[in-house]
């Protein structure tokens, strides 16, 4: 089952994002290697700078997905003002469909 993480950065938290990015990328690479990452990337503001993240993972339950979200180094660093975890159905352009 797929779950989307809709993550909104705290205001003025760009430096936290940049400082934590290497650990975040390593975490996503590990998720990808384990087959749990579907895709991910930042939301961008009008100035082109990151304002949040969209991460889609494969998990058995929403509890597992929430645990994956909580273990993200960005979350642990306090980058996010909010994280919504939602079950998601990839209908169009799904390479696995």
- Total domains present in the chain: 1
**Confidence at 97, pLDDT banded by 50, 70, 90:** confident
Is 96 within a domain? no
Residue 19 belongs to what domain range?
2-88
pTM: 0.94
Is 94 within a domain? no
Got the DSSP string for 14-70?
HHHHHHHHHHHHHHHHHHHHTT-EEEEEEEE-TTS-EEEEEEEEE-SSHHHHHHHHH
22-37 pLDDT, tens digit each: 999 999 999 999 999 9
């Amino acid at each position: 089952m797929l779950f989307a993480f809709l993550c909104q950065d705290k205001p003025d938290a760009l430096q936290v994002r940049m400082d934590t990015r290497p650990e975040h990328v390593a975490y996503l690479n590990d998720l990808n290697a384990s087959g749990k990452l579907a895709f991910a990337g930042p939301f961008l503001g009008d100035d082109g700078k990151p304002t949040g993240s969209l991460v889609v993972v494969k998990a058995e339950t929403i509890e597992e997905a929430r645990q994956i979200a909580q273990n993200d180094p960005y979350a642990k660093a306090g980058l996010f003002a909010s994280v919504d975890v939602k079950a998601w159905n990839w209908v169009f352009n799904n390479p696995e469909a």
